[in-house]
Amino acid sequence: MDILIDAFVSFFAMYLVISHLSARSLRRLVGYKAWVDIVLHVSVIYMFFSTSTEGLLQAEAAAIMFSLWLRGYRWASGFERWVPGRGWIRYAGRFT
């Protein structure tokens, strides 16, 4: 149970950092989809590999929650993607 509480605290800390980004920057970040997930999980595993198993599980649980939040943001608010020759194109979300 402590792992989940620690994961929520870590997720909230990542959310506070991300909340300082502009809406446009966040839409562009979520536009990369799988690349953001891969970089996030590889960096978490790399940083917490030598710690205890509980530390790694807590960090990975927080990363999973963050990935789910990014996917929810993408679904609800849309995203932007770079298209060569056309620039940034915005795709609408469910509520925009």
Domain ranges of the chain: 2-91
- pLDDT band of 76, cuts 50, 70, 90: very high
How large is the average pLDDT for residues 38-59? 84
Q: What is the mean pLDDT of residues 66-73?
A: 91
Tokens 């609800």 sit at which residue? 76
* Spatial distance between the Cα atoms of 87 and 27, rounded to a whole number of angstroms: 14
Residues with Cβ < 8 Å from 67, sequence gap 6 or more? 36, 37, 40, 41
Q: Model's pTM, two decimal places?
A: 0.81
Band of the pLDDT at 54, cuts 50, 70, 90?
confident
